[in-house]
Amino acid sequence: MRARGPLSVVGGMIPSMTTPAAVIVDATTYAQAVEDAARAAAAYYAGGSSPLDDDAYDRLARGIAAWEAEHPGEVLPDSPTGKVAGGAAEGDVPHTVPMLSLDNVFSPEEFTAWTASLARRVDREVTRFSVGPKLDGLAVAARYREGRLTRLITRGDGTAGEDVSHAMGTVEGLPERLAEPVTVEVRGEILMTTAQFEHANEVRIRHGGQPFANPRNAAAGTLRAKERAYTVPMTFFGYGLLALPGTDAALAARLEESAYGDLMATAAGLGVHTSAGTAVPDVVVETPEQVVARVQEIAALRAELPFGIDGIVVKADLAADQRAAGSGSRAPRWAIAYKLPAVEKITRLLDVEWNVGRTGIVAPRGVLEPVVIEGSTITYATLHNPADITRRGLRLGDHVMVHRAGDVIPRIEAPVAHLRTGEEQPIVFPEACPRCGSEIDTSEERWRCAQGRNCHLVASLAYAAGRDQLDIEGLGTTRVVQLVEAGLVADLADLFTLRREQLLALERMGETSTDNLLAALAAAREQPLSRVLCALGVRGTGRSMSRRIARYFATMDLIRAADAEAMQRVDGIGVEKAPSIVAEIAELAPLIDKLAAAGVNMTEPGATPPPAADADGGDGSASAAPAGGGPLAGMKVVVTGAMTGSLERLSRNEMNELVERAGGRSSSSVSKNTTLVVAGEGAGSKRAKAEQLGVRLATPEEFAALVADLIG
C-alpha cells in the first residue's frame, strides 16, 4: 500500500514509521487478518477503493508477517507476505522478466540490518547505491518495437499483467515514439500529480461521479477505465529499462551490464520521463551514510513535490552486485523501500462547524473522529467552503480520507463512498450568518456575512492594531470592545478621529492612558503603506504579500488604479488571486478614503513606483518587482530561531521587513531556492534542513553586520 504527502525531518534523523504491527494472537485471528488484507489489496490494486488506509494495511501486513515467522508451517496461501504487490489484479499478458515489488523497512535499525544483509549476500561491502523517490502510483511495463509504443501492461501478479494499452496517449512522459528505433521495455510508475488529481476530480464530478479519495486511487481507476465519456491526463516516471525478444544483441548486452544510474541515463536519452528532471532525482552514492543523508534530503523536500511519494528506494547500483544478491519470489534482495510515515488516514466526519472570520468569511470546519497522523491526534480538518463540500459530495457520518503533512492544517480530501452504510446524513448549510444573524452573500464560492468586517468588528480592529500591523500600543481587544460598545468606533478610520474628551469619558481611561493611546494613534498614522495595507486585512494577502504589493506600487493610489493584469506583476500573485485582490481593494475604497482623510500615510518609504504602463496594466515591463539594490538584492531569506544582539528587539515581522528593505525576499520555509537562513537560538528543523540542502547559514550577528546600515 502507498501513501503520499510531505514530511518534516527533525534533528537530522531518518524518519521512521512508529506505528506498531497489528497484534495477532491465534490462528483464527491470523486467518481473519489474511482475509482482510487480501480483500483490501484486491480493491486497492483493482481500482484504488480499499477499505483500509495505507498505515492500517501496513500494520496488518506486518502483524501477519510476525505471526508467520513464529508459525512457518501454518502460512495460508492468500497471505500477502508471499505475493507481489498488485497481485490481486491479475492479467493475461506474460512478463518477459518477472515484475517484482519491493520489501519495506520502517526504521533506521531495519535499514541498517538490510545493508548488512546485502553485504553478506554479495560477500563484500557495497560501494555504489542508487537512491531516489518511491513514487505513489501503479507499476507498468511499456513495450516498444523499433521505437514505437505498442503495449502497456500492469504489474499484475508479477508474472503476468493486465493489458491497459487503451490508456496510451493519455499519459504524459510516456512517449509514443522513442528518440531511437530500438526494441526495449521501459518499466515505471503511472501516477497523477497534484494538479492532475484536482482536474480529474473536477471532471469526474461534472460527469456525475464521486470524487477520488486521493491521487493513487484516481490513477488506479483512470488507468483501467474503458469507454469513459471523458479522459484525464496522468504522468509516467520510468525506473527500469530491459531487453525484449528482438532487441539488438549489442544493446541487450549493454542493458544487461549497465549500472542502474547509467541505465536511467540511457532511458532519459531515449525520451523517457524519469526522476532526473524533478527536485528529487535518483543519485548514486558510495556509502550507507551517504544513503542516509540522501534519504533525509528527499524526505525534507516531500512537502514541495508536485506528486506523491511514500518512501525512498535504495538499490545496489552495479549490475554485478544485483546478480550476486539475487531475488526472492516477490522482491529483489538488492533493493529496498524505506517507507515514510503515512500522511493520509481514513476516519469519520462527525459534524461540521460554521465559523466567521474577521473579514466576514463564513468558513466550515469538519469535526472528526480522532485519528493519529504523523504523531498528532487530529480532531478537526479544513472543509474550505460550501461549494467544496457540494463538489466532494460529503455527508455527516461519512468515512473520509484526511490528509495532513508536517505543519499543514489537516484537510478532508474526499468521502470513501464505498464504505457508506446508508445512515449518512446531508450537511446542512446555514441560512443566516451564524455569528450575527445577518444575511449571507452566497454569490461566490467563499460565503460571506452581508455585514463583512463589521460582523466581526472587534476582531478586525484588534487585528489592525496588532504589533505587526499598525502597532497601536494600548489598543487591545478589551479596549476595542469598549470603544465599539460606546459607539465611538464603527470602522478602522474612526480610531483616528477619536478626541481626548471622548476617551476620558470612558471607564478606566485616565489622563495618562488617554494621552498614551492618542500618541500611539498619531504614530500609527505614520506607519508605512505596507502595514496599512496589512491592517486592512485584504483577503488573499498577509504581512509578506502586503509588503510586496506596497513595495511594487509604492502608493495607495497606484494600488487602487491597478487592474488584475497589473496586480499579477507582484511576486507571488497569480492569475486566480489577482482579481480577488483587486475586487477587495475596490470594496474597501470608502474606508481607504476615510483613512486618508484622517491623515493616515498612504506611501511606502524607499519604494519607487513602477513605470506608468505597468501600473495601469499596459504594455510595460512585466518584472515581478521594482528594480532595487541593497545588501540582500536577489536573495531569498528565511529567519528562524530567537534573535540576539541588535536584532533581539525586532519581531519576526520586523525582521522580514528588514530583509525586504535590504533588497531580499523573506520566506517562512527552507527550500533548494533559499539563499540564506538566519539561524538564531533554537532554530531546530529549519536549520537542519538548510544544512541538508547546503543553504548558507548566518548567525544573528553576521546578519546584523550585513544590514547594519538599515538597523535603526
Interval 134-163: pLDDT, tens: 998 899 999 999 999 999 999 988 889 889
Rounded (5°) CA angle 27-32-34:
95
Residues of the chain with CATH 2.40.50.140: 344-441
| C-beta of residue 161 within 8 angstroms of C-beta of residue 188 | no
Candidates 3.30.750.24, 2.30.30.90, 1.10.150.20, 2.30.130.10; correct CATH number of 452-525? 1.10.150.20
Which residue intervals of the chain bear CATH 1.10.150.20? Answer: 452-525
DSSP for 574-591, please give it: -TTHHHHHHHHHHHTHHH
Predicted pLDDT of residue 613: 44
For the record, the C-alpha cell of 238 comes out as: 520510468
Taking residue 395's Cβ as centre, other Cβ atoms within 10 Å add up to 17
Residues of the chain within CATH 3.40.50.10190 domain(s) are 629-712
Q: Which residues contact 100 (CB under 8 A, 6 or more apart)?
A: 84, 158, 327, 330, 331, 332
pLDDT at 3: 33
Return the pLDDT at 42.
66
* Residue 297 to residue 63: CA distance in whole angstroms: 30
Write the CB contacts of 51 (distance below 8 Å, at least 6 apart in sequence): 39, 40, 43, 416, 418, 419
Please state, in angstroms and rounded to a whole number, the distance separating the CA atoms of residues 207 and 587.
36
Q: How far apart are CA 83 and CA 163, in angstroms?
A: 20
For 367-388, letters b (16+ CB in 10 Å) and e give: ebeebebbeeebeebbbbbbeb
Determine the pLDDT at residue 668: 79
> How far is the CA of 558 from the CAs of 344, 572, 585, 604, in angstroms?
45, 18, 11, 11
Q: Give the whole-angstrom CA distance, residue 349 versus residue 396.
A: 6
Bridge partners for 362 per DSSP: 356
pLDDT score for 618: 45
Cα 203 → chain centroid: 22
Domain 93-339 sits in CATH at 3.30.470.30
Assigned fold of 344-441:
OB fold (Dihydrolipoamide Acetyltransferase, E2P) (2.40.50)
Which regions of the chain are under pLDDT 70?
Answer: 1-22, 25, 41-55, 82-91, 374-375, 405-408, 612-629, 712
Name the strand (E) or helix (H) holding 400.
strand 399-403
- Phi, psi at 268, each rounded to 5°: -60, -35
- Predicted confidence at residue 11, as pLDDT, reads 31
The residue behind cell 519607487 is 608
Return residue ranges of the chain for CATH 3.30.470.30: 93-339
Active-site residue list: 134
Total-model pTM? 0.59
In three-state secondary structure terms, 303 is helix
pLDDT score for 12: 38
The pLDDT score that the predictor gives to residue 652 is 82
For residue 351, what are the CA distances in angstroms to 261, 389, 428? Answer: 51, 13, 10
Helices (H), 344-425: 386-392
Q: Does domain 629-712 have CATH number 3.40.50.10190?
A: yes
Q: Quick check: 168 and 144 in contact, CB under 8 A?
A: no
**Helical segments of 440-510, H only:** 457-464, 477-485, 500-504
